[in-house]
């Protein structure tokens, strides 16, 4: 399947690197598209129209506010689309692309290493075979989670934004270590390695976070004190972050 990317920014690059196959891509600044084509192979297109003409599947990787202007260029030329545009509903996509099959997905940056979480609206519009084909293509990049569109904004607030949240957690832990005199490079290695092992453990333990907390936190020990200090601010912080994301993307 020939893949075309409208936009050659962060997410387009991560998708193309994860799939590790040539793409046709565009950007407002052609130099950005050329850089992506040079990275993964393929062609930097001079226009969105050229992307559509040379692709079996077009992926919308521009910003959500550019939906209408891009659709005005390619809606007549493409029959199969994936949209990663945060907050743009299936209904809006179908209105912009009335003659195409459009799937709404929400990947995260970990597509780059084929370890992403990818939400897809479980609306196959009467074509389960095509839906399965799209899911299989996405499964090359990580875990695909079909989900009702009513839950899509919350999914965005968990997995779409997740890599940035964990990166922030890492940054704050490093800052706390550096404030105690550890050199930054050592702190980064320790934090990164701890996050990697801890996420793998969480998944291996069927996401039983409470049991893991119990096993690490010896009664009266240092973890118990650390958890007590973190629990409330972290809970309130993530609630506020979810509110902020829902306010923007609903």
Q: Which residues bind ligand NAP (CB under 6 A)?
A: 6-12, 26-29, 32, 48, 61-64, 66, 69-70, 84-86, 106-109, 160
103 phi-psi bin (left φ>0, alpha ψ -120 to 50, beta other):
beta
- Between residues 64 and 237, which has the closer beta carbon with respect to ligand NAP? 64
If you search the block for the tokens 């799939």, which residue do you land on? 19
Q: How far is the CB of 210 from ligand NAP (least distance, A)?
A: 29
Tell me, rounded to whole angstroms, the distance of Cα 205 from its chain centroid.
24
Return d(Cα 79, Cα 247) in angstroms, integer: 32
- Between residues 106 and 191, which has the closer beta carbon with respect to ligand NAP? 106
Contact call for residues 40 and 64 (beta carbons, < 8 A): no
**Hey, is 99 helix, strand or coil?**
coil
- Between residues 35 and 182, which has the closer beta carbon with respect to ligand NAP? 35
If you search the block for the tokens 């387009």, which residue do you land on? 12
Q: How far is the CB of 51 from ligand NAP (least distance, A)?
A: 8
- Between residues 225 and 250, which has the closer beta carbon with respect to ligand NAP? 250
- Between residues 70 and 187, which has the closer beta carbon with respect to ligand NAP? 70
Return d(Cα 59, Cα 3) in angstroms, integer: 8
Q: How far is the CB of 202 from ligand NAP (least distance, A)?
A: 21
**What is the number of the residue whose Cβ is closest to ligand NAP?**
9
Q: How far is the CB of 223 from ligand NAP (least distance, A)?
A: 32
**Hey, is 41 helix, strand or coil?**
coil
């Amino acid at each position: 399947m020939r893949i075309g990317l409208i936009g050659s920014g962060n997410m387009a690059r991560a998708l193309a690197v994860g799939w590790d196959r040539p793409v046709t891509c565009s950007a407002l600044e052609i130099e950005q598209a050329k850089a992506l084509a040079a990275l993964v192979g393929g062609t930097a297109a001079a226009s969105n129209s050229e992307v559509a003409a040379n692709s079996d599947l077009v992926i919308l990787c521009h910003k959500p506010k550019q939906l209408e202007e891009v659709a005005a260029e390619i809606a007549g030329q493409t029959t199969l689309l994936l949209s990663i545009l945060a907050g743009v509903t299936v209904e809006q996509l179908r209105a912009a692309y009335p003659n195409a099959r459009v799937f709404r997905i929400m990947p995260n940056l970990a597509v780059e290493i084929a370890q992403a979480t990818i939400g897809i609206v479980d609306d196959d519009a009467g074509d389960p075979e095509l839906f399965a084909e799209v899911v299989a293509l996405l499964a090359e990049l990580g875990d695909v989670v079909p989900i009702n569109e009513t839950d899509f904004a919350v999914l965005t607030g968990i997995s779409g934004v997740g890599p940035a949240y964990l990166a922030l957690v890492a940054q704050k832990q490093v800052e706390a270590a550096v404030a105690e005199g550890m050199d930054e490079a050592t702190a980064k290695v320790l934090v990164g390695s701890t996050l990697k092992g801890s996420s793998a453990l969480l998944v291996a333990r069927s996401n039983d976070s409470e049991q893991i907390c119990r096993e690490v936190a010896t009664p009266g020990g240092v973890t118990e004190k650390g958890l007590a200090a973190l629990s409330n601010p972290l809970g309130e912080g993530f609630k506020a972050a979810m509110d902020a994301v829902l306010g923007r993307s609903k």
